[in-house]
Amino acid sequence: MTPGAFSGQPDSSQAIWPAADWWHNLGSGELTDLIGRAQAENRDLAAAVARVLQAQARVTVQRAPLFPQINGQSQAQRTSVNAAQSTGGQGQSAGSATSNTFTLNASAGYELDIWGQARNNLRAARETLKSARFDQQSVALTVTANVATTYFSVLALRERTAIANEDIAAIKSILDVISLKVSAGTSSHLDLAQEQAQLEGVQAQLAALEQSELETRVNLAILLGQPPQTLRIAAQGLQEVSPPAVAPGLPSELLIRRPDVAEAEAKLASAHANLDAARAAFLPQFSLTGSGGYASSTIGALVRGPSFVWDAGAGVLQTIFDGGRLLGQKNLALGVQQELIADYQGAVLQAYADVEIALGQVKNQHNAEAHLRREVEAAREAFGIAQLQYRQGATDLLTVLQAQQTLFGARDQLAQTTLARLQAVVHLYEALGGGWVEAPGDRTQASGAS
């Protein structure tokens, strides 16, 4: 089931797993600050932390049956009995008899965990706690990656907005030339209308880009756990972002570097323990009980030797008929176990798939970016030549329009491809676990062997 190597990884490359603080190496101090704020204030991450606290409480609850349960009680009671009632109503005496009773005792009970039901319940709770911690770490990784990719989207949209404004300025420059030619009678109003239509189209694209940037900044603010109105982004483009190289090692190593895979494994281990506990519930349950204390009619003599009373006992409880409750609980635990086996296998396969896809994205987006940079240089030269020839009357407006569309379309596509490459690198960091490594003591295999 585990492949020997990733198909998208060159055979000669060495493993370079992401550092635990990989975002510090992207070259953006502003992004580092944003990620720090998200790790402190993100609401999804806060909810994951709360789930860890809940799981810790469940461990405490499931640990309790392994210890004796001790209770203390004190009581004072005053009883009055009518004399006529005490004689059955046959005597002539009147009045009442009053008595006091004071008690002070302690009781203890302990269920012998002979078949391991309580221990299995505790093991299930501990594995659930581990899965909650792994979920918290998985959420933290996802939040960090989302902040980075959303931040890059803001910068890319700003670059595209700047390109659109440059396009508008160039169109207006050509419009001035066309207007002069129309006035001189050397050009028709058709050329003027065509260039004006070009201007309106780019201005419509500019409005859409500005709206996209607004929505992306709002999404980034939500990731940071702050109102959108308070978020300020200083950077204007992607030029300063430079991610370091990263490459996966063996696919088998990935399984201890992905918190979501560790979470799925811990959930499966918890299901194993729940099934063992459900099986143990069919067996007899043994318990020990005991109590001791003082009872007296006067509080002054309560703690004296003659007032001391005690009792002890043992019991065995065996379910004879429960309408199928225990069988249903066992079958339910078995069904959950089978579901989580499939979930764990799916998590492993998804982890391999995420890395393969991210490797392909990084490689192909890098190649596409290189081609687009060369296209932009060639299109810029062609547009310059077309403008010059149009001013000299050596070519028509259609040639200028085509060169202009090619240049600014290529520049816009280059900005989008640069964004896609950077986001692919972040996805690769995320797919490789973001520098997280499962502690040896947390591994289910280690805990199962102990």
255: CATH = 1.20.1600.10
Do 133 and 197 share a domain, yes or no? yes
pLDDT per residue, tens digit, the chain (450 aa), is 677 788 777 665 688 899 999 999 998 999 999 999 999 999 999 999 999 999 999 999 999 999 999 999 988 888 887 766 555 555 555 567 788 888 889 999 999 999 999 999 999 999 999 999 999 999 999 999 999 999 999 999 999 999 999 999 999 988 988 898 888 887 788 888 988 999 999 999 999 999 999 999 999 999 999 999 999 999 999 988 888 888 888 888 999 999 999 999 999 999 999 999 999 999 999 999 999 888 887 777 777 777 888 889 999 999 999 899 999 999 999 999 999 999 999 999 999 999 999 999 999 999 999 999 999 999 999 999 998 998 888 888 889 889 999 999 999 999 999 999 999 999 999 999 999 999 988 877 544 433
In Å, how far from its chain's centre is CA 16?
24
Question: Whose CA is closest to 22, among 35, 37, 41?
Answer: 35
263 located within any domain: yes
Do 245 and 385 share a domain, yes or no? yes
Do 289 and 184 share a domain, yes or no? no
Question: Whose CA is closest to 116, among 234, 262, 250, 281?
Answer: 281
Point out which residues pair with 290 in neighbouring strands: 108, 312
12 located within any domain: no
The answer, as to whether pTM is greater than 0.75, is yes
Do 164 and 311 share a domain, yes or no? no
Do 240 and 269 share a domain, yes or no? yes
In whole angstroms, what is the distance from residue 182 CA to residue 34 CA? 53
Residue 323: left (phi > 0), alpha (psi -120 to 50), or beta? left
Do 139 and 162 share a domain, yes or no? yes
6 located within any domain: no
Do 371 and 415 share a domain, yes or no? yes
Q: What residue numbers bound the domain in which 238 lies? A: 22-66+113-282+323-449
Q: Structural domain tally of the chain? A: 2
